[in-house]
Amino acid sequence: MADFNGQIYTEIQPFASNSSNLANMSYGWRGNYLKSASTNLRYQISWNGLNENQEPSKANFSSGSGDVINIIFRVYATTQFPYPVATSDWDLVGEIRKSRDIANRNYSNNLIDATGQRFTVDISKLCQDLLSYSLVPIKKGTWQSSKWGGMNGGVSKNDNVATTISNYNVTPNGTYRHIKVTAIPEVILANGTIEESSSGLVSFNTIAVINSVAQYEKNDIYYNTRYIIQKSLANANFPRGFLSFCPNYTQTTVSPFLKQVREDEEAEWLYWYQRNMGIGASPGIPNQQTTTARLKCISYLANGTTQNTFYLSDFNSNLDKETVSNLSVFKLRQERMCVQNVSPVYINANAQDDAGNSLTGQIDSSTSYYKASLENINAEDNLVTDGNFPLGTTAWSFGGGWSLGVGVAEALNVNGSYMVQSINFTNTKTYKIQFTISNYLSGEVRIRFSGGAGFISTYYVSGNNTHILYLQSIGNTVFRFQGQNNFTASITNISIQESPVTIRTTEFRYFKIDRETANIPYGFVRFHWLNRLGAVDSYTAKRNVVESLSVSKSTIETNSADRTWYQDDQLAGGAAVDPVNYISNTMRGGNIYKGGREVLGVNAERLNSVFTEPLNKQTADWLEEIVTSPNVWIEMDTDATKRGNTVNPFQRPSTKEYIPVIITNSEVQTLNQEEGLVKFNIEYTLSHKVQTQSN
Predicted confidence (pLDDT) per residue in 73-120, tens digit:
999 999 999 999 999 999 999 999 999 999 999 999 999 999 999 999
Mean of pLDDT values over 375-392: 88
Going from the C-alpha of 677 to that of each of 260, 414, 612, 614, the distances in angstroms are 17, 69, 11, 5
Q: Facing residues of 65 across strands?
A: 3, 62
Residue 674 pLDDT greater than 70, yes or no: no
- The residue type found at 612 is T
Q: Do 494 and 534 fall within a single domain?
A: no
Q: Is residue 165 part of a domain?
A: no
What length does the chain have?
695
**How many C-beta atoms surround the C-beta of residue 506 within 10 A?**
24
Q: Say yes or no: 77 and 198 in one domain.
A: yes
Alpha carbon 352 to its chain's center: 21
Specify whether 351 is located in the same domain as 401. Answer: no
pLDDT for res 120: 98
DSSP character string of 168-196: SS----TTEEEEEEEEEEEEE-TTS-EEE
Does any domain span residue 164? Answer: no
Q: Is residue 169, in this structure, part of any structural domain at all?
A: no
Give the range among 8-12, 563-567, 577-581, 632-636 with minimum mean pLDDT: 563-567
Are 637 and 573 in the same domain?
A: no
pTM score, whole prediction: 0.87
Same domain, 373 and 269: yes
Query: What is the tens place of the pLDDT at every residue in 227-283?
Result: 999 888 888 888 899 999 999 999 887 777 899 999 999 999 999 999 998 765 454
CATH label of the domain that carries residue 187: 2.60.40
What is the per-residue pLDDT across 514-530, written as a single tens digit (0 to 9) for each?
Answer: 998 765 556 789 999 99
- 241 and 353 in a single domain? The answer is yes
Q: Which residues constitute the domain of residue 179?
A: 3-131+175-210
The closest alpha carbon to 389, from 334, 326, 335, belongs to 326
Contacts of 691 (CB under 8 A, 6+ apart): none
Average model confidence (pLDDT) across the chain:
90
pLDDT digit string (tens) for 651-671?
999 999 999 999 998 667 766
Backbone dihedral angles phi then psi of residue 594, each to the nearest 5 degrees: -140, 170
Q: What is the pLDDT of residues 584-605, one digit of tens each?
A: 888 888 888 888 888 777 787 8
pLDDT at 236: 84
- Number of structural domains (the chain) is 5
| Residues 322 and 235 grouped into a single domain | yes
The predicted-structure confidence for 440-479, as pLDDT tens digits, reads as follows 999 999 999 999 889 999 999 999 999 999 999 999 999 9
Q: Which residues pair with 690 in a beta bridge?
A: 604
CATH number at residue 413: 2.60.120.260
